[in-house]
Amino acid sequence: MRRLLLLLLGLWEAQSRAPSRPNFVLIVADDLGIGDPGCYGNKTLRNAERPFLLVFSCIQVHTALYASKDFAGKSKHGAYGDAAEEMDWGVGQLLNVLEELQLTNNTLVYFTSDQGAHVEEVTPKGERHGGSNGIFKGGKGNNWEGGIRVPGLLRWPGVLPAGVEIAEPTSNMDVFPTVAKLAGSPLPEDRIIDGRDLMPLLRGETQRSEHEFLFHYCNFYLNAVRWHPPNSSSVWKAFLFTPNFAPEGANGCFPTHVCFCHGHFVTRHHPPLLFDLSRDPRERRPVTPGAEPRFWEILEAMQEAAERHARTVVPVPNQLSVGRILWKPWLQMCCSSSPGLSCQCPRGEQD
């Protein structure tokens, strides 16, 4: 709550004069399933003289669930619903300030989640503390559609038409090149940019995503390949391995609380397990060579794409090594309220 109020105070300092380039508000929920927002069918739940970018990363609805006293115990969906409704309120506060400052028509707002709902999050009393992934299989920590299909809501009045639904494969990686292009900034040339500018698709200038292929990882293992061929309504998805759900018949890996990506925790598939998501979005009926005459041709095209992709991936240092996760006091912000820090800021900056 305190962090949200500080963000709102920053917005209040903005002037109402519209900048020459758009502003951006990126709102990222944590573990919010695609079946949780009401617009997806759920029935139970900044300085304006220059363009600004506000990234508001919600702690909701990751466990341990939390809701302030104004929301605790108020929803029809327990602690998870309380947290989701408080997040909804917080998003509304941000949008209200944009309206009051007359910045709405010059601001692209994008709301999404980092991954799907955590289906294995169940208390000892049997209360579900994870959300809903709608009709889709799996959830957080795996690459079934329930784990990687997340809410994607955008608002930019006067630029993006209201009420449009787009059923093309996109990625949160697309946010970076989209924002950079709208801000008039060139993309880095010293690396491969996997994301694509979303604006042609959002404006209706094209009906197809630029992502012909998407590659889904489980940790650092390539887990699945998605292919939306040109001039085809099919969306193929091939799994190199799948997690072993447990107990039998479950929709997740309950004994380990999250699905692992290696060893006896997975089943490898030779040939890969193939689905046509356009016909089978719930991933219940794998495509077979007998039912699909182009079975081997499809897998060959996806294998070639995966090999091209692998040649572009450059290994990076272990991000969880001891040297990277140790607290580094010299990187803390000056003017902190912590009495243990000796750094000082000029008086003007403190004010």
Q: What is the pLDDT of residues 236-278, one digit of tens each?
A: 999 999 999 999 999 999 999 999 999 999 999 999 999 999 9
Per-residue pLDDT of 9-36, as tens digits, reads 455 454 444 457 898 887 777 777 777 6
Summarize the confidence of residues 38-53 as an average pLDDT. Answer: 69
Global pTM reads 0.80
Which segments of 168-263 are extended strands (E)? 213-218, 221-227, 236-243
Share of the chain above pLDDT 70, in %: 86
Position 314 pLDDT exceeds 90: no
Query: Strand order in 53-57's β-sheet?
Result: 53-57, 23-29, 107-113, 152-155
Label residue 77 by pLDDT band (50, 70, 90): confident
What tokens were used for 299? 């897998």
Confidence (pLDDT) at 333: 62
Residue 55, phi then psi, degrees to nearest 5 = -110, 115
Confidence of residue 330 (pLDDT cuts 50, 70, 90): confident
Q: What is the rounded average pLDDT of the residues 319-325? A: 86
Statement: 1-166 belongs to CATH 3.30.70.80: no
Answer yes or no: is pLDDT of 181 > 50: yes
Strand ranges, E, within the chain: 23-29, 53-57, 107-113, 152-155, 213-218, 221-227, 236-243, 266-276
What is the arithmetic mean of pLDDT over 88-94?
93
Q: In the prediction, which pLDDT does 6 show?
A: 46
Identity of the residue numbered 258: V
Question: How far, in Å, CA of 172 to CA of 196, rounded?
Answer: 10
What does the pLDDT read at residue 10?
A: 54
The first and second tokens of residue 79, run together, are: 């602690």
Percent of the chain with pLDDT over 90: 63
The domain ranges of the chain are: 1-166, 211-316
pLDDT score recorded for residue 347:
55
What CATH number should be reported for the domain whose range is 211-316? 3.30.1120.10
pLDDT category at 323 given cuts 50, 70, 90 is: confident
pLDDT at residue number 37? 74
Per-residue pLDDT of 268-313, as tens digits, reads: 999 999 999 999 999 999 999 999 999 999 999 999 999 999 999 9
Mean pLDDT rounded to a whole number for the chain: 87
Contacts 24+ apart (CB under 8 A), 103-106: 103/14, 103/16, 103/18, 103/23, 103/48, 104/157, 105/18, 105/156, 105/157, 105/158, 105/159, 106/18, 106/19, 106/22, 106/23
pLDDT tens-digit map of 331-343: 766 654 555 555 5
* 3-class state of residue 164 by DSSP: coil
Q: Specify the pLDDT at position 328.
A: 82
Interior angle at CA 103, CA 101 and CA 107, nearest 5: 150
